[in-house]
Amino acid sequence: MNLTFTGVFQIRTLILSIFIYANLYCSIELSAQSAWPSESWSAAANLTSVMSATGLTELSSLFWNSTTNRLYVSHGDGKLRVLQLNIANNTFSQIANITYAGGPEGITQVNLSANEFYTIDEDNYQIRKYTHNANFSPTGVTLSKSWNITAAPSTMTNTGNVGPEGIAFVPDSFLLAIGFISQATGLAYTASVKGMGGLIFVAHQRLGEIWVFDINPNVSNDFAFVGKYKTNNNESCDLAFERTTGLLYILHNAGPNSIEATDLITTSVTGGNRKFNVKSEYFLATPLDTNKNVEGFAITPKCNDSTNVSVWLCRDVESVEPTAYKQDCLRWFNPFTSPGSCTNTNPVVLNLKVFIQGFYRGGGKMRPVLDSINFPLNCDTITIELRKNDAGKTLESSMKKIVDINGNVSISFPASTFGKSYYVVIKHRHSMETWSSLPILFNSISLSYSFTDLATKAFGGNLSNLNDGNFALYSGDTDQNGNINLIDLASIEQRLVLFTSGYNSFDLNGDYVVESTDQSIMENNSLLNISVLRP
């Protein structure tokens, strides 16, 4: 067969078109994508000037904290900015601008009330945990723990600058509710074995896979590898887990930028792999100029206000690019029509943080009182009550749980509590009964509340100042009558003379002996006329 130049060109063009289409089809299921369900990039509010009038570079990830109303903005070159939303006038102000080492491409939080955050560091292929003081002072941000995710049992290899970029935490309550499957074992996931109370998800640029780890939050490099999961694209750069609908959002910026929402249900695919089920997928709003490198995504909880969902997008602008690009790298979109259901059939997990004054040893740690030899991470038992916001403050639920030495305790309440508001009440065998300052709206199947960071978290400010930025339940109500007074002091002094020892309610500091330290705590608190404060 004789072919003219034109014929050869037409055949080559046809082959090339088929090749391009096949690659696009393999990497992006175009049929699943819908139009962006919000305003355009240019119509959205430009927040860049809140952080810098001259512009910014290297923005790589976003995280929205619905408890504190703060937007965390991570720079891949080692900077963190935090924007505080003023809900009265719906405006943002910058409350933190911190430089620290590494390449923090992604950022998330686990406990939304704790002064800590986690990053995925692409320079070092590490998950990193940072702690900070309440005002985010530059010297108050400290690298606390780290986990090398190229080390065994992980199978991730170092692929250079095409590596891990996004990070999100998913609580156990969601994973157990949908029957999450471990790709590494092929078996149903049964809950964190490392004490995190959930799993860390990491987005990888190469192949777009999501790598999942169960990490020990208290020990560096102690983690279990749960598996890696295919997505709808061959590149993934950021993650956001929405704690009211249970959807994981996966940002892709290869080809047409897109955002994929999955319910975390997975199916088996070839090669022993598993792939996330796609609930929704949208083309992304992108700038009109030449830089389409959108790398960060954050979203507000849908079920707090389904008609007023916000999302934020940020893009990575290089230092050599035009100033106009640098002045337009963070946009706020509202409203955003988000997928997912607000009808809940899952238990509601309340993650609390609470310190007990007498047991506190400093540095955010308490003494292991229950059994320091066999269970060195357990402090003591406490009772957690939910009280309705009615005239009689009716008891809805009461559970006794172990609080660990870091002050953490998780409680699972029935699905019927979802969407309702409750006062949270903490009781302990020798401490003052303490109520949350306000009713807490159970608008997610995983909630966090801390009684340790501010005195105002307790009704009437009824917490002891530990003088290191933390607060605790007052110790000394040994007869549990709602007052710390001379009667309690006399009881301590009587046991002191008798050399009372062992596990008992008069041993306020938890060293198994009633002695002068316990007496001192009691004397100080009895002079303060501490009593229970209820709404």
> H/E/C letters for each residue in 259-319?
EEEEEEEEEEEHHHEEEEEEEEEEECCCCCCCCCCEEEEEECCHHHCCCCCCEEEEECCCC
Residue 21 lies in a domain: no
Residue-level pLDDT at 458: 97
Q: How far apart are CA 32 and CA 485, in angstroms?
A: 67
Show the tokens assigned to 69: 């109303």
Angle at Cα 233 formed by Cα 198 and Cα 150, nearest 5°?
50
Residue 534 lies in a domain: no
Show the tokens assigned to 106: 């992604």
Residues 292 and 401 in one domain: no
Residues 323 and 399 in one domain: no
Question: Could you give the maximum distance between any two Cα atoms of the chain, in Å?
Answer: 112
Show the tokens assigned to 223: 């983690």
Cα-Cα-Cα-Cα dihedral sign, residues 133, 136, 139, 141: positive
Q: Last residue of some domain: 290, 309, 333? A: 333
Considering its fold, how many domains does the chain have in total? 2
Q: How far apart are CA 385 and CA 397, in angstroms?
A: 6
Give the torsion through C-alpha atoms of 90, 448, 406, 144, to 10 deg. -50
Residue 4 lies in a domain: no
Residues 147 and 110 in one domain: yes
Residues 417 and 328 in one domain: no
Residues 217 and 79 in one domain: yes
Domain with residue 118: its CATH number is 2.115.10
Residue 17 lies in a domain: no
**359, 380 in Cβ contact below 8 A?**
yes
Q: Report DSSP letters for 201-244, one per residue.
A: EEEESSTT-EEEEEE-TTSTT-EEEEEEEE-SSS---EEEEETT
Q: Last residue of some domain: 333, 359, 375? A: 333
Residue 118 lies in a domain: yes
Residues 321 and 359 in one domain: no
Residues 393 and 304 in one domain: no
Residues 329 and 360 in one domain: no
Would you write out the chain's pLDDT as a tens digit for each of its 535 residues? 333 333 433 333 333 333 333 333 344 444 458 999 999 999 999 999 999 999 999 999 999 999 899 999 999 999 999 999 999 999 999 999 999 888 999 999 998 888 999 999 999 999 999 999 888 887 878 999 999 999 999 999 999 989 999 999 999 888 988 899 999 999 999 889 998 889 999 999 999 999 999 999 999 999 999 999 999 999 999 999 999 999 999 999 987 899 999 999 999 999 899 999 999 999 999 999 999 999 999 999 998 888 999 999 999 999 999 999 999 999 999 999 999 988 777 788 899 999 999 999 999 999 999 999 999 999 999 999 999 999 999 999 999 999 999 999 999 998 889 888 999 999 999 999 999 999 998 878 888 899 999 999 999 999 999 999 999 999 999 999 999 999 999 989 999 888 899 999 999 999 999 999 999 999 999 999 999 999 9
| CA-to-CA separations, 509 to 360, 366, 420, in angstroms, rounded | 8, 10, 37
CA 273 to chain centre: 27
Residue-level pLDDT at 342: 85
**75, 82 in Cβ contact below 8 A?**
no
Predicted structure pTM score:
0.73
Residue 1 lies in a domain: no
Residues 98 and 139 in one domain: yes
Backbone angles phi, psi at 110, to 5 degrees: -100, -65
Residue-level pLDDT at 195: 87
Residues 64 and 146 in one domain: yes
Q: How far apart are CA 147 and CA 29, in angstroms?
A: 34
Show the tokens assigned to 427: 């009781």
Residue-level pLDDT at 46: 98
Residues 80 and 206 in one domain: yes
Residue 13 lies in a domain: no
Residue 89 lies in a domain: yes
Domain of 353, in residue numbers? 348-527
Q: Spell out the residues 6+ positions from residue 75 whose beta carbon is closer than 8 angstroms to its own.
A: 56, 57, 58, 59, 60, 81, 104
Residues 385 and 307 in one domain: no
Q: How far apart are CA 28 and CA 133, in angstroms?
A: 43
Q: Last residue of some domain: 333, 363, 384? A: 333
Domain with residue 496: its CATH number is 2.60.40.4130
Residue-level pLDDT at 32: 58
